[in-house]
Amino acid sequence: MIKLSRLNGEVFILNANLIETIEANPDTVVSLTTGHKHVVREPIEEVIEKVIRYNAEIQTVTKVIKREV
């Protein structure tokens, strides 16, 4: 899950696994596999960084769990 901001400043949490595309038109539009679209304040690069960070955290947690089992 990643934290993003709508154009009006409202913060929301998005399931990063549902992201299909990210475009700049000039606003950043995040399209989901569900067909929903979200226009956000963050530039494309920041959204990508958040997704990469989220995925890295998931991998780290998975490795720790596997070690404990």
pLDDT in tens, 21-42: 999 989 999 999 999 999 999 9
* Domain tally, the chain: 1
DSSP state of 8: T
Residue 64 has what pLDDT? 75
Percent of the chain at pLDDT > 70 equals 99
Q: Burial-class residue 14 by CB neighbours within 10 Å (0-12, 13-18, 19+).
A: buried
Q: What is the pTM of this model?
A: 0.87
The whole-number pLDDT of residue 66 equals 76
Print the domain residue range for 64: 2-68
Q: How far out from the chain centre does Cα 5 lie?
A: 11
